[in-house]
Copies of this chain bind each other. A is one copy, B any other.
Amino acid sequence: MANQVEREIFESYVRRNGGRVTPERLRLFDEIFSQHGHIDADRLYRAIRQDRKISRATVYRNLELLVDCGLVRRQRLGQRRYLYEHVHPGQAHDHLVCRVCDRVVEFMSPAISALQREIARAHGFDPAEHTLKISGICVGCASETEVAATGPSHRRSALRSTLS
């Protein structure tokens, strides 16, 4: 089976800390490692619900566990909820997020990673995780806006504009 190594890591992490290997934990592990890309807690909950009973609380609790043992990354890419993705060691990457269509593009920059480590070191910081999110307008939305040419953008302004 795929993800054998990660599964080992998970189970041994749980046992090493006096925890128990439960079907709920394994099911969540399988779900998040079968998905690919970013997914929120509720979608994981509903996906698992398809074939077994599980509670939301259990999903949240065990996502925390997966994050703690370094197999899953939790980030706020949108405004509201956290998104989760499983981690491939040595494949650190960051995100471009379009503020119009919410699409996420991943990129990898060893140069930025190195600079980050350097900065943390210079400040006596022991870095555990990082988030680099660049939000803006993606190429698709830029051209759409150009064509439509309908004012400032999709984002509702904080000022109640006169346009009805």
- Give the B-binding residues of A (Cβ under 8 A): 14, 17-19, 61-62, 64-65, 68, 76, 96, 98-99, 105, 107, 109, 111-112, 115-116, 119-120, 123-139, 142, 157-162
A125 and B136 within 8 A (CB): yes
List of B residues within 8 angstroms of A123 by Cβ: 96, 105, 107, 138-139
Look across to chain B and name the residue whose beta carbon is closest to the beta carbon of A65: B158
A127 and B116 within 8 A (CB): no
A contacts with B: majority SS: mixed
Task: Name the one of B61, B158, B159 contacting A18, with C-beta atoms under 8 angstroms.
Answer: B159
List of B residues within 8 angstroms of A131 by Cβ: 131-133, 135
